[in-house]
Amino acid sequence: MSEFIKHDKIAEMAGIPICISNEINRFIDDINPPKEFEEHNTERKIFVCGHLNVSIRTLLGSVKSKNSPLHDRGKEERVQKEDLKWLLATRKEYIKCYYLHFAIDHINDNKGWMKDTGGTVNDCLNIWEKKHAVIIPGTEPYLRDVMDFLRNNIENIKEIVF
């Protein structure tokens, strides 16, 4: 099952419209992102050092593919903060899906760890929430909703991800 299909199925279970899931998938994985999202990547400036402000696209790279550096935007806290500020100001209905995407990626990326250590999906979620989930003022309720949904649907999530 392709990663987009996994994300879409889980988003649908969470009550997120497929069109929102699809746009977030394309945005986060940098695969033909919607025009407004690409404008965010190219026009949103992030303070880097001294007086230097650069676009997200410049900061993370410009290769558009499955291996695009933007595909790893989940590893860049400052990029996620800018994404969340932008989504909060322009597309609040996308924030839940944004968090859900990264949480599902974390579960998927840690399947081997869970198998090797006996860790559970819940353990994996706890680690993501405490160490990797980026929060800015106003997004806390969205993250809480995502975490509640995931914890209440662990068995269904496991069927899809594994």
Whether the Cβ atoms of residue 48 and residue 56 lie closer than 8 Å to each other: no
Whether the Cβ atoms of residue 106 and residue 128 lie closer than 8 Å to each other: yes
Tens-digit pLDDT string for the chain (162 aa): 578 899 999 999 999 999 999 999 999 988 889 999 999 999 988 887 776 788 988 877 754 545 554 556 777 898 999 999 999 999 999 999 999 999 999 999 999 999 999 999 999 999 999 999 999 999 999 999 999 999 999 999 999 998
Q: State whether the Cα torsion 52-53-56-58 is positive or negative.
A: negative
Q: Length of the chain, please? A: 162
Q: Reduced to 3 states, what is the DSSP secondary structure of residue 130?
A: helix
